[in-house]
Structure 1
Amino acid sequence: MSATARKSAPLPDDIRAMKGGTPIVSLTAYTTPMAQMMDRHCDFVLVGDSVGMVLHGLPSTLGVTMDMMIMHGRAVARGLSKAMMVIDMPFGSYEEGPEQAFRNAARLMAETRAGAVKLEGGVSMSDTIAFLVARGIPVMAHVGLTPQSINTLGGYKVQGRGEAASNLIADAKAVASAGAFAIVLEKVPESLANDITQSIRIPTIGIGASAGCDGQILVVDDMLGLFTAFKAKFVKRFAELGADGEAAIAAYAEDVRARRFPGPEHVFGDEAPEAQT
């Protein structure tokens, strides 16, 4: 499926059907302008709970609320017409049980027009995923490093090394069997990501995993060099907009203090032409 050839946003089944084909392209977005820029290039756009760290300065994703996700989801939806929108379920909105998960997932989809929700967890979340799918909520799963569980995982560590590999394979198979249409593999060894990709029938979306995954995702502010608090090993910066932006701000401040800005071309005369705005 070509991103430039699509006439309407793909459905979860369309993403599922891309398994083993042309790699799936996805990025996170939190605002309308970013969504507009990536719309014709991405197969799906994720409204990630990483917004808490990237835009709100939180130390982790744990402080992100439903209201925050809905606000940013609505903003992203305004910028999309070709890419499908997936939205993260924030910490505490689904772990209590399937009924709680359904209420909050239904609210997220109804209030943002998202095409699917994403939640973290493998075997432990398989019953919840099955419950949601049976009631019309498409689910993208997420295993490996699950940021909402950093307090129990011991931080942002690679997951699935050594004997832990079998647990991750079990997680992936469980969510696939439960009805998830795709699965994010975050910060897992390359060989394990390849094994999982080959062992399940739904697409794998890698982030710090393997080029052999069925697709890739990055936080857009990471790959554009806008978020500079830290840089994960798996991030490739395709631009350095953060450095460019700071340089532009410094130049602006210098011009203001030297009274070079505003110049004659930026101010209005007493008898300016009627068309001048």
Structure 2
Amino acid sequence: MRNIVKELQRLQAITKQLRDPINGCQWDRVQTFASLKSYTLEETYEVLDAIDKQDTDELKKELGDLLFHIVFYADLANEQELFNFDDICQSVADKLVYRHPHIFTDNQTQKPNWEQLKQKERDQKAQYSLLDDIPKAIPALMQAEKIQKRCASVGFDWNDIIAVLDKVKEEINEVEQELEHPRQDPQKIEEELGDLLFATVNLARHLKIKSEQCLKQANKKFTRRFQQVESILKQKNITLIDATLEQMEAAWQSVKQLEQIKLNSEVNKND
């Protein structure tokens, strides 16, 4: 069995060498916390993509890339005498022990109240608002869900799914009203569309569905169907540029019918 500590130390040494101001990599040595943000986000999504594909070999590589970013951030911080990799490990270990007293203390009968523990942490940081520590950089759908869950934890929430659905319908009506206005205000339309998206996330949350994953699945389905539309048109020697909307719509409906036939066939096999 390989020595995990040794491998981690090797990764840290490689990172430090890449950051060497004289003999290091020109790209690595000029990076900052801010410049790495978009790359870290990209690596995170690549990890998630490997999980969705159930490609464990690719997942191993992508997790390695993500770990490199953490080591990189730690090296940047260490250079500025802010913190180091050990501090990062200690911080998360302390937090996990604190949030799991039923696991790491003698009192193993009482399960913790997560929101009470988190509120205590916010109080210790002199955090004024319940929503202050929700990350601003995460995708908007995830951010909306976190805001709603945090508010729900103190009772600020709809009582039943019908009320949530009614709110979605109300927001659709308000979008329609703005679109029917004689002098459309783009900013007002954008605001109402935002309210509609926020209400839709709320509906998904009440249905125990992750909005981000839900939209990803919709994107995946649309992409699959549109690629089949392209294939159908190509078989007819029609390019997308030359195709009429009617031809594309006919191909789209054909794709949907074929999917339904396939689905019905699979259901019949299982009966």
Superposed pair shares fold, TM > 0.5: no
Which structure's CA Rg is the greater one? Answer: 2
More strand by share: 1
State the TM-score, normalizing by the size of structure 2.
0.22
Q: TM-score, normalised by structure 1?
A: 0.22
